[in-house]
Amino acid sequence: MREGSGTASASALKEVLPRKGILYQEDFAYLALCRPKLMPLKSVTLEKLEAMQKNAQDKLRQQQQQQQEQQGLGGVGSSAARPNIF
Amino acid sequence: MDPLFLALSNFRRRNFEKCVEICTELLNKNPLDQSVWSLKTRALTEQVWVDECDGEEEGLADVLMDDNTIASVARPGTSLRSAPPSSAGGPSQTFRPSTQSGRPLSGVVRPGSQGGRPGTMDQALRTPRTAQTARPVSATSGRHVRLGTASMVSTGDGPFINLARLNVAKYANQQNIAKALFEYIYFHENDVRHALDLAAQATQALNFKDWWWKVQLGRCYYRLGLFRDAEKQFKSALKQQDNINTFLSLGRVYIRLDQPMASLDVYKDGLDKFPGEVTLLTAISRIYEGLNDLPKAVKFYKDVLQCDATHVEAIACIGTNHFYSDQPEVALRFYRRLLQMGIYNCEIFNNLGLCCFYAQQYDMTLTCFERALSLATDQGIADVWYNLGHIALGIGDINLAYQCFRLALVSDNDHGESYNNLGVLEYRRGNLETARAFFMTSASLSPHMYQPHYNHAKLAHKVGDLQTSFIIVQKALNLFPAHVDSQELLKTLETHFQTL
């Protein structure tokens, strides 16, 4: 207890020492939090699979970009050939 | 220098792309050179080779239309699919989070163990909505096909071998190149039917005397889902030659048939022949872990560490187990060991941060989490924020915790745990309606967790909606029968209804 208010509250509160019966304590049921989660490491195989997949995706993307660039170049050429309607 | 020698040297040094390049040039000059041709198949195979004994992803069709399981209602503790027994001696569900399938969270994630096994069609179809865990429709599609396209992309100018025009019978008789060709078809082309054809003809050509071909036949059958045929081939191969790989493959067949006890027997037979073999010991531990028998799993992981002190999976799993059995300081030592061994990623720093915090080494905690956040990928960052939320709760900074859980949801909108914890925080703030919405979202996103159900029931009880509370607390008890608080809530409700 804090020193300042000690005298007043000490007289107000009586200590209880039951002579008979069961000493009990009230138990509150709180809401349940989900527990902290350790993250599982990735196995070597999984890492390899993911790396391969990522490589493949990158390569595909590169190829698509190249194709688009080529088409884009073609597109510029064709638009130049097209008559300007504005 | 002789180009073939150079190609061989590159192959040995695992410069497969260079090796393939040289072989292609040589084959352009002389297309009939068998040695170069065979070397090229081997180099192409090595590029995409993966260890199949580590498990594989099961597709949607495999999981849902699975009629290989022998007992649909298995006895407790004998199935990897039905609900695990809760009183197996390990830490209870209160402390140790579980995966979607209700199995305890493992220290290592492997190809097969990512998504978990959904219980119902509804769950299975809902999972792919989260882009990160999209489940392929069938095992024959999915990752195998994706890797197949990957290999096609890398070659550029069409496939190296045209399988449709391959004279299988001719190559089946040439044992010196048939094996390399088989692996090429199986791994690189992912064409199991052609591979099976080749293996069947080759084993015939040798009068069924070569165990290697039998194992390959078994693998093809396994990939095609013909598990009983695969089992026969593996057993026949084991009669001729004891081989670790064959034991592992046979064990995997039984796992797919959902007979973990049978696969344990196989692995133990294997251990009799190859005492102290790490892969067999690891396989045993994985099964015990799947059966929720954590003390035994840890025992075998410790055996693994006796034989191989740098086994990442064993260290991680033992560390995880210590963490959840209230010994974070011991777990910290295991994870620190992993860090010393050179593993440097988001997961390890996240785990170190958590261990440090709960082992009361507060100086390191935030540093570890900062490192984890800087290394995190899109997949992992939600979990890091979620765990940081716990640190914030631990130091009593509710606002920070709130923000962390929110950030976890920003990175992964389907993070059920964060929803639940946000619900608890909202409940404390007195926003009961918001809390209820969070609990309901959490319960629908993570049907394997009991916490949102319990919390929702508790909340409903508080606002006087006893009927809802009664229904929902039963859901919580279904998921975690030994949860004392739920049992008491149910008892209170029952007495209440009886007095009415």
- pLDDT of A42 reads 85
- Secondary structure class of B387 (helix, strand, coil): helix
Mean pLDDT of chain B: 85
Please determine, for residue B239, whether its predicted confidence score (pLDDT) is greater than 90: yes
Written as six digits, the tokens of B89 are: 């001696």
Q: Is B347 exposed, middle or buried (0-12, 13-18, 19+ CB in 10 A)?
A: buried
A26, A37, A41, A55, best to mutate vs chain B, most B CBs in 10 Å: A41
Q: Which of residues 57-76 of A touch B (CB under 8 A)?
A: 59-60, 63
| pLDDT tier at B76, thresholds 50, 70, 90 | confident
Amino acid in position B467: Q
Could you give the C-alpha distances from B464 to B30, B321, B496, in angstroms and in order? 85, 40, 12
What residues contact residue B151 under an 8 Å CB cut-off, 6+ apart?
B44, B47, B48, B188, B189
B345 sits in which H/E element: none
**Average pLDDT, integer, range B222-230:** 91
**Average pLDDT, integer, range B35-64:** 80
- Is B313 part of any domain? no
pLDDT digits (tens, 9 = 90+) for B321-352: 999 989 999 999 999 999 999 999 999 999 99
* Cα A51 from Cα B348, distance rounded (Å): 19
Q: Which of residues 457-486 of B touch A (CB under 8 A)?
A: 458-459, 485
- Is B276 part of any domain? no
- Is B17 part of any domain? yes
pLDDT digits (tens, 9 = 90+) for B78-131: 777 765 655 556 667 777 777 666 667 777 877 766 544 444 555 555 543 333
> Which residues on neighbouring strands pair with residue B109, listed in sequence order?
A42
- Is B101 part of any domain? no
Residue B53 or residue B323, greater confidence: B323
Task: For residue B22, give its domain range.
Answer: 3-48
- Is B377 part of any domain? no
Percent of chain B with pLDDT over 70: 84
B310, B318, B327, B417, best to mutate vs chain A, most A CBs in 10 Å: B417
Structurally, how many domains does chain B consist of?
1
- Secondary structure class of B322 (helix, strand, coil): helix
Nearest to B256 by CA among B288, B216, B224, B285: B224
**Average pLDDT, integer, range B310-321:** 93
pLDDT digits (tens, 9 = 90+) for B381-419: 999 999 999 999 999 999 999 999 999 999 988 899 999
- Is B135 part of any domain? no
Q: Which of residues 169-208 of B touch A (CB under 8 A)?
A: none
Our CA angle for B41, B47, B53, nearest 5°, is 105
- pLDDT of B448 reads 84
- Is B199 part of any domain? no
Contact B108 A56 (CB under 8 A): no
Helix then strand count (H, E) for chain B reads 26, 1
- Is B13 part of any domain? yes
**Tokens 């026969």, residue?**
B232
Instruction: Report the residue from A34, A36, A55 with minimal CB separation from B354.
Output: A36
